[in-house]
């Protein structure tokens, strides 16, 4: 059963074929969605355009989310080529590598501002730019992580940025609710991506989660994609302002008995 027939989606944050956003794109395409993509810079352009070609020849546009002019141009392109948006996937985050190790009190003012601008405020910026192109009843989702509300060593300012992102999700859900637009976050378990490997000790985190999680495994980008399809579909028509955990149950563990 195709859950997204007739729906259009804009997916941000694809970096390569291992990206969580790639898993979301493949799942949405499998369920009939018409896709579009953004990319930031020439470094990932080829990867995004290759994926777009594989998934129905989807259009893709360059967009630096720190530029209001580029966001306005993105909205113009989406309106011109797609007409409307039924789903928006925010999978954008950036933190300086030196801020993903050591002590959080050593985070520079500029590093903090950069992390919050790209990882958190960008959701507000995208919604503001696209609000007239988003359909009434559309679904917006953002990718977050457990480190937003619990200590994950070395995640540091990235966790602070995710906490801000989750708060933004709730306030946007309230502001857009009168249009029937739903806004949710997906809290994904640790997945080996280019960005996650920047976190010091990440490989050990992956092993620890697989051992402790109730399902005794790690999640995949496909698992996240399936959840995104649900949130983009009419099956979740009354679900908003929520953080949806897809982490094999790890977030519920208060203690792990290694026995």
Inside any domain, residue 147: yes
More confident residue, 203 or 209: 209
- Which residue did the predictor score with more confidence, 75 or 259? 75
Q: What mean pLDDT do residues 154-178 have?
A: 98
DSSP bridge pairs for 85: 134
Q: Is residue 256 part of a domain?
A: no
> Would you say residue 254 lies in a domain?
no
pLDDT of amino acid 256 = 84
Alpha-carbon Rg for the chain, nearest whole angstrom, is 18
User: Is 258 a domain residue?
Assistant: no
pLDDT averaged over the chain?
95
pLDDT over 70 (residue 60): yes
Confidence (pLDDT) at 101: 87
Mean pLDDT over 51-62 rounds to 97
pLDDT of amino acid 246: 98
Query: Is 3 domain-assigned?
Result: no
The answer as to whether 167 is a domain residue is yes
Cα(first)–Cα(last) distance of the chain, in Å? Answer: 43
Q: Which residues of 216-241 are buried (b: 16+ CB within 10 A; e: fewer)?
A: eebbbbebbbbbbbbbbbeebeeebb
Residue 233 DSSP code = S
Contact yes or no for 189/203 (Cβ under 8 A): no
The CATH code of the domain that includes 40 is 3.40.50.720
Q: Residue 144 sits in which domain range?
A: 8-249
Report pLDDT for 191: 93
Please give the Cα distance from 255 to 222 (Å, whole number): 28
Q: Is 142 helix (H, G, I), strand (E, B) or coil?
A: strand
Above 90 in pLDDT, residue 236?
yes
Which residues are within 8 A (CB) of 129 and not within 5 positions of it... i.e. 6 or more apart?
A: 68, 71, 72, 74, 75
Please report the DSSP string for 19-71 in residue order: SHHHHHHHHHHHTTPEEEEEE-SHHHHHHHHHHHHHTTS--EEE--TT-HHHH
Is 24 part of a structural domain of the chain? yes
In the predicted model, what is the mean pLDDT of residues 122-131?
A: 98
Residue 259, pLDDT above cutoff 60: no
pLDDT of residue 10: 98
Residue 217: pLDDT band by 50, 70, 90 thresholds? very high
d(CA 26, CA 53): 12
Q: What's the pTM?
A: 0.96
pLDDT at 66: 97
Return the half-sphere exposure (C-beta side, CA atoms, 13 A cut-off) of residue 185.
25
Which of 40-49, 64-73, 173-182 has the lowest average pLDDT?
40-49
User: Quick check: 1 pLDDT over 90?
Assistant: no
- Structural domains of the chain, count: 1
pLDDT at 197: 65
Percent residues over pLDDT 70 in the chain: 98
How much is the pLDDT for 193?
75
Active site residues: 145, 155
Give residue 201's pLDDT.
75
Is position 191 within any domain?
A: yes
């Amino acid at each position: 059963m195709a859950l997204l027939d007739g729906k259009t989606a804009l997916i941000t944050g694809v970096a390569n074929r291992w990206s969580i956003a790639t898993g979301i794109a493949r799942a949405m395409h499998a369920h009939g969605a018409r896709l579009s993509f953004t990319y930031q810079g020439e470094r990932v352009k080829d990867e995004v355009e290759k994926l777009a070609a594989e998934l129905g020849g989807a259009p893709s546009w360059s967009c630096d989310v720190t530029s209001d002019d580029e966001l306005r141009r993105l909205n113009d392109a989406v309106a011109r080529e797609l007409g409307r948006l039924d789903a928006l996937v925010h999978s954008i985050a950036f933190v300086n590598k030196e801020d993903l190790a050591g002590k959080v009190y050593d985070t520079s003012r500029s590093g903090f501002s950069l992390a919050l601008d790209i990882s958190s405020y960008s959701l507000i910026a995208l919604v503001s730019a696209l609000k007239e192109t988003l359909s009434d009843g559309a679904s917006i989702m953002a990718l977050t992580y457990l480190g937003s509300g619990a200590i994950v060593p070395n995640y540091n300012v990235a966790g602070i940025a995710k906490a801000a992102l989750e708060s933004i999700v709730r306030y946007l859900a309230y502001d857009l609710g009168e249009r029937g637009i739903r806004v949710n976050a997906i809290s994904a378990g640790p997945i080996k991506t280019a960005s996650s490997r920047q976190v010091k000790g990440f490989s050990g985190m992956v092993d620890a989660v697989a051992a402790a999680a109730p399902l005794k495994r790690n999640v995949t980008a496909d698992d996240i994609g399936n959840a995104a399809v649900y949130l983009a579909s009419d099956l979740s028509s009354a679900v908003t302002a929520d953080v949806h955990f897809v982490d094999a149950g790890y977030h519920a563990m208060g203690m792990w008995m290694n026995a």
